Structures are given as structure tokens and as C-alpha cells.
Amino acid sequence: MERYKKDFPIFLSWASKGKPLHYLDSAATAQAPLSVLRAVRNFETRSRANVHRGIYELSEHATEAYEGARSRTAKFIGARFPEEIVFTKNTTESINLLAYSLGKSFFKKGDRILLSRAEHHSNFLPWQMLKEEKGIALDIVDSDENGEISFSSVEAALTKNTRLAAFSHVSHVLGSINPIEEMGALFRKNGVLFVVDGAQSIAHVPIDVGRLGADFFAFSGHKLGAPMGIGVLYGRKEIFGSLEPFMRGGGMIQEVSTEKASWAEMPARFEAGTPNVAGAVGLDAALTYIEGIGYANIEERDRALVYAMVDGLSAIPGVRVYGPKDANTRGGIVSFSVEGVHPHDLATILSRDGVSIRAGHHCAMPLMEFLGVPALARASVWVYNTPDDIRALARGIEHAVKILRT
Amino acid sequence: MEDSLYQNRILAEYRAPKNFGLKDDFTHQAKAANPVCGDSIVVRLKIQNGIVREASFKNIGCVISMASASIFLESIKGRAVEDVRALGPDTPLSLLGIPLTLGRLKCGILVLEAVGKAL
């Protein structure tokens, strides 16, 4: 088995059943390497206890592991302080937390939020909520015919009342990498808070929140090989530290009386209740795994596979590939349609040969409407994928066409 | 060997669906959608004296949802509204007669949902 593939037990387990797994849905969830699974098991069997509470040795071990994961995450994405990292459940919770907390004290009626039409519902609906609840207006930037959001269209959409901009780093449908750095500089200059949805970028491109100019950066652990149920919200301390908490409960207070309460400093303020410590430990191990491979290596592999995919799929009659044509501006995702073949039928037929792709509207209904399609098929890659997976995809598409057309 | 899911019988319904294309002569109409995939169906029924006289549909959907709509609507023509109302998911699924996985079940019963709403 190929070098990186063998680090992931799921591929060994499928191969041993005689049905090799061609997993092409890492943009939804990446597979977990053995080192992550081991780290989680070691925590559960040796150090499991609640954090920040107990004075006993076990709780101290657990707290060290949890806070160690926080420090590691901070360093990994270039945050200045560990406390700028708040652990959540996933990207969705990160952005909901932020929208709720900003809605409490930051926004006032008439403020405007800048978004793109290509956002995942999780970076759209929390802001739409503020529109309904706070009387805030949303300005929507469209992508061009290649699915790319141009810097000039972002610049043109900026108004003097724009107080926040929320963009995905890499589009989960079109795969396009947005010009986040230029956008960050523009927003900083205009005093606009910048929220970056990093769900699709964190596993593919190196992140430095300072360089990106992001005030907030959200991502999910499960998209980079960590367990499901651990996510991150990075926030620049100067702003994040002034916000109201999202949830109230244990572990997030300064003082409580029957009349009132005051809040702990961040990150504790935003982490009410017992956190997902095993998940944080798994995230720590996943970051170690990625550092071992190196982003330069990941990007090179991505490019080669995406290039092969765009090339291979475009060569099949009736296949239309969406998004940027240039593999250098894609982050491991290729969405496509096959004339006369519904994405669901395609996914079902591919699945029989162990080829796993995503089919549907990808939680981006406003974008689907813009593209004029009810659904698309999406194939996405990560470190374990090989040219053989791409060939299996192309074979499967040809097979599906044979069954369903005529 | 014939495909267990995409059997010739199912593909034939998909390629030449019965009752496809919305008829102007109708008394009841409803739309149903599958939020998971973005598929949707509009069903029109003509009810006279408590009997389903006519049925037609238009949809955006996969082979399974198209075939299911074709077969199911044909099967309720001439039946009493009361009886049709009482039908559960098993009816369109058994009419299809193919093994659907959990993720595809909704494709097979979307037409039933639309008919239920229309009635």
C-alpha cells in the first residue's frame, strides 16, 4: 500500500476485505491516521478525567493534555496567544458562537455584513439570523464564471456601514482559493472585522492568521484527521476578549451570586461545560501528523491529483467541471456534472466500486441557484489519495453513463 | 447480468415515465422536496366523487425518484382518495421492488409525500 495510505487503518481494513476504498469525500470528513486514534485511546485509558477542576493527578494530566492541545493549535495557525484558541464542536458551532456573541454587543441596526454567495450554509445562516434579529443588512458578492471571487468585486461591495466580512478561505463546492490576504488587508484598513471560514483550507494550505489578516478563523478537526466533535474558533484577543459569552454554565465564570454573574477571561468564557478533551488530544495528534508530512508536500500532491481529476473528467463526453480551471487555485476539490446522469445515481453506482463521492447541493443552495443546477457531484482529495483513486472515479463515471444513458 | 438497482424495468420507467408533464385539468396540487439533494417534485391530481381520476407530475430528480413517481401515480389512478391517504412508504417502495439503501429511501418516497400533501 502507498506511503500515506497505509497510515490510515480504514484503507487497510477495506483492502483486507478485498474491496479497496477509493475515498474521495475528504472535504466532508477526512479519514483519521493511526497516530490520532492511538492518542485518543491513550488519553481515554490513561488520563481520562475532567479538566480544570480536580486537584488530583489524573485531572492535572487531563488539563495538561487539553491545554497542550490549545497551545499547539495556537502555534500551528500563527496565533499570538494560546487563549486566542477556543475549542468548539466544529466550524458550524464556531461561527454560530461568534455571530451570537457579536449580535449581543457588537452590532447595531443598520450595520452591514459582507458575504459571498458561495458560502456554506454554516457561514451564511448565522449572519442571516442577525439580519432578522438585529436589522443588519447582508451584501452578497457573486463569484465569476470560473467560480472565483475577485478582489475587485469585494472592494466594490464594501460600504461605509460594513462592519464585518465573512468569507470561506477555500470554497467547499468550487474548490477555489479566495484572495484572503488581499481581502484581509482591505478589511483591516477599513476597520471591518474579518471572519475566515477555514473548514476547507486547514487541511490543504498553511495557515498564518496574522498574515491572512483574519480577526477570526474557524475550522473543524475532523477535516484534518482529528476526531469528529472538536472544532476551533481563533479570535484576535483585542476583540474576542470583549465579547459576551455564547453559552453559560460551568467553567466560564468569574463570580456568581443569585443576582448576577461575571465572566472568566477567554478562552474559558466561551467554553461552558465539560469540553471534548479526547477530541482536543486527537486534534493535537492530527496537527503533529500534518507537520510530519509538511504543507509543501500536501500542496504538491493536491495539485497533481486535482490536475489529473480536472483533466480526466473533462475528457469524458458530457462531463462538465465547475470552478477554476487552474489546479494552482484549487484546494483539493472538484465539482462536476454528468449530462443525463443525476449525481445521486452516479454516487450510488460509484459506491459499488468503493468510490466514495458526495452528491447533492452541498449546503450551498444560493450558489446552486446561481449555477442553475439542483445538485452536483463532488470529489475531493487528501494526503492518502493516489492517481489510482482518480482512475477508479473516471472508470466509474464511464460505467454509470453506460448504465443510465441511451 | 442485470443490475439489481438499475434494472431494465426501472430504467424504462425513467426513460419514458408515465404521467410526466403537468396536466392543466386538475383539482389538487402539491410540491415536495428532498432538502438533502435539492430534488423536487410537483404532483397534480384530479379528484372526482372521492376518486383519483387523473395524476400527473413534473420533477427534478434521479432515476429512482423518477421511476417511483411514474409507477406510483399510475397505481393510484382510479382509487378512492380515502385509500390513497392511508398508504404508507411501503407502497411506493414495494412497487419499485428494488433494494434501496438508507440514503436513497427518500428518493423512492418523495412522490408519496407530494400526493399526501395534495390530498
Shortest CA gap B83–chain A (Å): 32
What is the per-residue pLDDT for A239?
Answer: 95
pTM of the predicted structure, to 2 decimals: 0.92
Of the three residues A259, A291, A323, the one that is the final residue of a domain is A291
**Averaged pLDDT of chain B:** 92
CATH number at residue B91: 3.90.1010.10
CB contact under 8 A, A344 and B39: yes
Residue A221: per-residue pLDDT: 98
The pLDDT, as a whole number, for residue A338 is 93
pLDDT for residue A340: 86
Rg of chain A over Cα atoms, rounded to whole angstroms, equals: 22
Task: Find the CATH number of the domain harbouring A86.
Answer: 3.40.640.10
Number of domains in chain A: 2
Interface of B with A (CB under 8 A): 3, 5-6, 11, 14, 36-40, 60-64, 101, 104, 107
* Claim to verify: residue A136 and residue A60 sit in the same structural domain: yes
- Give me the pLDDT at residue A330, please: 84
In a domain, B46, yes or no: yes
Nearest C-alpha of chain B: how many angstroms from A220? 21
Partners of B69 on chain A (C-beta within 8 Å) are none
User: Are B62 and A342 an interchain contact pair (Cβ–Cβ within 8 Å)?
Assistant: yes
The domain boundary, picked from A249, A273, A291, lies at A291
- Please indicate whether, in this complex, the C-beta atoms of A404 and B61 are within 8 angstroms of each other: no
Q: B37: which chain A residues are within 8 Å (Cβ-Cβ)?
A: 343-344, 359-361, 374-375
Q: What is the pLDDT of residues B84-105, one digit of tens each?
A: 999 999 999 999 999 888 888 9
Order of strands, sheet of A216-220, starting from the edge strand that comes earlier in the sequence: A85-88, A231-235, A216-220, A193-197, A162-168, A112-116, A137-141
Question: What is the per-residue pLDDT for B1?
Answer: 58
A196 plus A67 within the same structural domain = yes
Whether residues B64 and A343 touch (CB distance < 8 A) is answered with no
- Specify whether A204 is located in the same domain as A309: no
Least CA distance to B8: which residue of chain A?
Answer: A403
Inform me whether the C-beta atom of residue A10 falls under 8 Å from chain B C-beta atoms: no
Q: What DSSP string runs through chain B?
A: ---SSS-HHHHHHHHS-TTBS--S--SEEEEEEETTTTEEEEEEEEEETTEEEEEEEEEE--HHHHHHHHHHHHHHTTSBHHHHHT--THHHHHHHTS---GGGHHHHHHHHHHHHHH-
* Chain B environment of A403 (Cβ under 8 Å): 3, 6, 11
Determine, yes or no, domain membership for B2: no
- Please say whether the beta carbons of A21 and A354 come within 8 A: yes
- Which CA distances in Å does A406 have to A341, A395, A400, A403, B9? 11, 18, 11, 8, 14
- Nearest by CB to residue B60, choosing from A365, A374, A404, is A374
Residue ranges making up the domain that contains A179:
37-291
Q: How near does any CA of chain B get to the CA of A364, in Å? A: 10
**What are phi and psi for residue A300, nearest 5 degrees?**
-65, -45
Q: If you measure CA to CA, which chain B residue comes closest to A406? A: B15
Q: Does A366 touch chain B (CB under 8 A)?
A: no
Question: Which residues in chain A come in under a pLDDT of 70?
Answer: 406
CB contact under 8 A, A360 and B107: no
The DSSP H or E segment spanning A141 is strand A137-141
Res A406: pLDDT:
62
Task: Indicate the burial class of A291 (C-beta count within 10 angstroms; 0-12, 13-18, 19 or more).
Answer: exposed
Same domain (yes/no): A208, A353: no
Contact A344 B107 (CB under 8 A): yes
Asked if A324 and A173 touch (Cβ cutoff 8 Å), the reply is no
Interface of A with B in 375-394 (CB under 8 A): 375
- Facing B37 at nearest CB: one of A349, A359, A403: A359
| pLDDT score at A253 | 86
Claim to verify: residue A271 and residue A313 sit in the same structural domain: no
In chain B, what residues touch A348 (CB-CB under 8 Å)?
Answer: 5, 101, 104
**Same domain? A27 vs A47:** no
Show which residues of A are catalytic: 363
Domain enclosing residue B75, as ranges? 8-118
In the block, which residue shows the cell 438585529?
A134
Stretch (H or E) spanning A72: helix A57-76
If asked whether residues A132 and A13 sit together in one domain, one would say no
Q: Which of A264, A291, A318 is the last residue of a domain?
A: A291
